[in-house]
Structure 1
Amino acid sequence: MNNSLRLGIVGTGRMGITHFSIANAHDDAAVVAVADPSKLVTTMLGKYAKVSTYKDYKALLKQEQLDAVMVCTPPALNPDILDALLEAQVHAFVEKPFVLSAADGRRFAESFDAAGLVNQVGYVNRWNDMFTKAKNFVEEGLIGKPLRFRSEMFSPTIIRDPGDAGWRATHANGGGAVYEMASHALDLINYFFGAPDSVGGTSLTKVFSKQVEDVVSSSLFYDEGLAGTIYVNWSDASYRKPTNKFEVFGDAGKLQVDQHGMKIFLTTSNERHGLKAGWNQLYITDVFSAVPFYVRGLEYSAQIYDFIASIQEGNPVRCSFADAAANLEVIDRLFADDAALRAGAVA
């Protein structure tokens, strides 16, 4: 095995450990060091995974010569970490939502690009084969000109009073339905069409949470006429696990897609793809791309392997800091629109 890329991880919670296992399955890369404040976690990783361990990112960067770092920490902590990675001239993969403001997002996008450093954010749906296939269909005009869309996400994440403990209870830690889930639903919109020009009618509603929103709804508009809605509810007990749904209506048909399958309605048949007029059904098994190592979903491995390939071969990343910053611009607008509507209602 030729482990030419030396990788580090900052933050070894659920996502950090997921990325640890995927990256270490790569033939030309290895995680050699991790940083986490938990003594239990670092002791176990040092003993059984045989990696160097540190209590924080500063010690890790001081002691290790790394090619890239995967950052899996609360977004409020990420600006300081990213400034340190930039100073060390290290490529960076960061879990979403990356940072907490579009201004910070743009700053890091510009600075990492200017330094020639690969930068990627973990909006994993961009690597899901169903969503990628649906995007290709829309771009090639399968359903005609897109007119309306709907992006939704549901989960039973918060279905009782969560109290004030846990990372999901605060925005600073990436909690709240906007940062945790609506960011994924928004990123699908951006992935398909680019960022919308404006938002309106935003409602952020608490159901069980005290400090953050549980339900998100808004309308999104493009200057050329395309428009759609977003609806996210992480307090929906009718779902067993998080589910993304995306629908696009065009002047020649429509498609409905989630992580596992796609339904396509066409007004006329399409011989190229073997699709008939009326309803058609595709499943993930019809279009999936194989990955060398599977954890949680094919897309999780695909995004890390793409990150490594971007460093080694100069390939463009599928979700850059600039892409994530564009997502944050929409998120900033959602918060501002909701606040304005509430202020108007009070007045």
Structure 2
Amino acid sequence: MVNFAIVGCGHIAKKHAEAIQKANGADLLAVCDTDPSKMREFIDLYNIEGYVNLEDLLKNNEVDVVNICTPSGFHASIAVSVAEAKKHIVVEKPIAMTLEDTDLMIDACRKNNVKLSVVHPNRFRPVMIKLKETMDKQELGKLSHANATVRWNRNQEYYDQAGWRGTKEYDGGVLMNQAIHNLDLILWLMGDVEEVYSMEATRLRNIESEDVSTGVIRFKNGALGVIEAATTIYPNNLEETISVFGETGSVKIGGKTASLVEHWNVENMNDEETIDIIETVKADPIGKPGHECIIEDMVEAVTEDREPIVTGLDGRKALELVLAFYESAKTNRPIKIN
């Protein structure tokens, strides 16, 4: 068994705890939070230890992996301490709030020979796996462009749950918090980015960061991309879509959580193959929950001594894209990404 501990006992920690309990080869040993009351539910439910001090948790030699579920602005300092204690890391998205902090995390993990995985679970959705396989075989031909749309609702009550929500230092806006998953998917599917241009606004929510953002991308392969993200949609989540268009294929993945095939037309796939993809996805659109996949992947990465599927570098690329959008919106000019 690979033993896990969770730092930060807020809402997302519940998903991590459930995933660890269900994942093959994983066991939850402990939680840590500066507020003892937030740990109580976890301690009672799972019969595990609770720590109010990170240093004390890291002295527990039975803990192999630490899952960081704190507000994003605290990820880097915690991760460096965890890496120096020779424990592997699963960190919630975004990996950090700045590239400087991200590089500190990656360097600390490299120096201490520990694994670093970033929670971008949408890669594990059945339809995304199939789309990635199709694109890796170059069955869409020369790529024209791609589109990522997040039209969701996060009302003021959501942001008022905690003082850090919607702040630039600890949370970020719709790009950093919600759409970063979609940016990770776009990078995973389309490759590295050369240049971006973006506009953003804070229209309806009383927060420091943006609640609506639009932007365009030029990928290094010459294809273009369009990003639209908002938490201002009335009254509930409307849609999350990923579309990719190429010389010999067009695919649109949609629904409220980008998990269903809305369009799939690939030149070298016959009708039977296409229908099979659509019906297979429809029968089980979510598959194994993404957090559970992330945990099982970390277990295998530790036991097989390999890199996790979603690495620290992957997390850095997604963050770099968000920050480039922010810089473009602030300066009203295109931003090159090296």
- On whether the aligned pair clears a TM of 0.5, the verdict is yes
**CA 1:47–1:334: 2 relative to 1, 3 Å:** same
**CA 1:236–1:135: 2 relative to 1, 3 Å:** same
CA RMSD of aligned residues (A): 2.6
Q: Is 29-38 or 312-321 further displaced after alignment?
A: 312-321
Q: Could you tell me how far 1:159 is from its partner in structure 2?
A: 6.1
Q: 2:126 aligns with which of 124, 129, 139?
A: 129
What are the Cα deviations for residues 277-326 of structure 1, in whole angstroms up to 9, with x where unaligned? Answer: xxx845524576964xxxxxx22221211111111123432211111111
CA distance in structure 1 between the aligned counterparts of 2:330 and 2:107, rounded to whole angstroms: 29
8 Å CA contact 1:161–1:209 kept in 2: the answer is no
**CA 1:61–1:255: 2 relative to 1, 3 Å:** same
The secondary structure found in structure 1 opposite 2:44 is helix
CA distance in structure 1 between the aligned counterparts of 2:324 and 2:229, rounded to whole angstroms: 16
CA distance in structure 2 between the aligned counterparts of 1:238 and 1:247, rounded to whole angstroms: 24
Written as runs of structure 1 = structure 2, the 5 A alignment for 1:257-272 is 257-258=253-254, 259-266=258-265, 268-271=267-270
8 Å CA contact 1:11–1:72 kept in 2: the answer is yes
Q: 1:339 aligns with which of 326, 330, 338?
A: 330
8 Å CA contact 1:130–1:287 kept in 2: the answer is no
**CA 1:246–1:78: 2 relative to 1, 3 Å:** same
Q: Could you tell me how far 1:63 is from its partner in structure 2?
A: 4.4
Give the partner amino acid of 2:269.
N
CA distance in structure 1 between the aligned counterparts of 2:133 and 2:323, rounded to whole angstroms: 29
Residue aligning to 2:244: 248
1:169 counterpart = 2:166:
yes
Residue aligning to 1:226: 223
CA distance in structure 2 between the aligned counterparts of 1:125 and 1:247, rounded to whole angstroms: 15
How many equivalent residue pairs? 329
8 Å CA contact 2:23–2:295 kept in 1: the answer is no
Give the partner amino acid of 1:338.
A
Q: Could you tell me how far 1:330 is from its partner in structure 2?
A: 1.1
8 Å CA contact 2:4–2:29 kept in 1: the answer is yes
Q: 1:24 aligns with which of 10, 21, 24?
A: 21
Residue aligning to 2:336: none
Written as runs of structure 1 = structure 2, the 5 A alignment for 1:175-214 is 175-214=172-211
Q: 2:50 aligns with which of 48, 53, 68?
A: 53
Residue aligning to 2:5: 8
Q: Could you tell me how far 1:207 is from its partner in structure 2?
A: 2.4
Give the partner amino acid of 2:103.
R
The secondary structure found in structure 2 opposite 1:324 is helix
Give the partner amino acid of 1:270.
M
1:71 counterpart = 2:68:
yes
8 Å CA contact 1:74–1:172 kept in 2: the answer is no
Q: What is the TM-score when the length of structure 2 is the normalising length?
A: 0.88
Q: Could you tell me how far 1:14 is from its partner in structure 2?
A: 1.7
CA distance in structure 2 between the aligned counterparts of 1:5 and 1:204, rounded to whole angstroms: 44
8 Å CA contact 1:8–1:31 kept in 2: the answer is yes
Give the partner amino acid of 1:97.
P
1:115 counterpart = 2:106:
no
CA distance in structure 2 between the aligned counterparts of 1:325 and 1:267, rounded to whole angstroms: 32
Q: Could you tell me how far 1:218 is from its partner in structure 2?
A: 0.6
Unaligned residue ranges in structure 2 (runs of 5+): 334-338
Q: Is 59-68 or 218-227 further displaced after alignment?
A: 59-68
CA distance in structure 1 between the aligned counterparts of 2:161 and 2:236, rounded to whole angstroms: 24
The secondary structure found in structure 2 opposite 1:168 is coil
What are the Cα deviations for residues 239-260 of structure 1, in whole angstroms up to 9, with x where unaligned? Answer: 447x431001111221001333
CA distance in structure 2 between the aligned counterparts of 1:249 and 1:269, rounded to whole angstroms: 15
Written as runs of structure 1 = structure 2, the 5 A alignment for 1:126-165 is 126-158=123-155, 165=162
8 Å CA contact 1:204–1:213 kept in 2: the answer is yes
The secondary structure found in structure 1 opposite 2:9 is coil
Q: 2:86 aligns with which of 86, 89, 92?
A: 89
CA distance in structure 1 between the aligned counterparts of 2:23 and 2:225, rounded to whole angstroms: 40
CA distance in structure 2 between the aligned counterparts of 1:134 and 1:267, rounded to whole angstroms: 11
CA distance in structure 2 between the aligned counterparts of 1:86 and 1:130, rounded to whole angstroms: 34
8 Å CA contact 2:198–2:213 kept in 1: the answer is no
CA distance in structure 1 between the aligned counterparts of 2:84 and 2:200, rounded to whole angstroms: 40
CA distance in structure 1 between the aligned counterparts of 2:156 and 2:59, rounded to whole angstroms: 43
Unaligned residue ranges in structure 1 (runs of 5+): 292-297, 343-347
Q: Could you tell me how far 1:6 is from its partner in structure 2?
A: 2.0
Q: 2:307 aligns with which of 306, 312, 316?
A: 316
CA distance in structure 1 between the aligned counterparts of 2:248 and 2:229, rounded to whole angstroms: 28
What are the Cα deviations for residues 165-206 of structure 1, in whole angstroms up to 9, with x where unaligned? Answer: 544231333241121112112111111122311101433443
CA distance in structure 2 between the aligned counterparts of 1:207 and 1:273, rounded to whole angstroms: 46
Give the partner amino acid of 1:254.
S
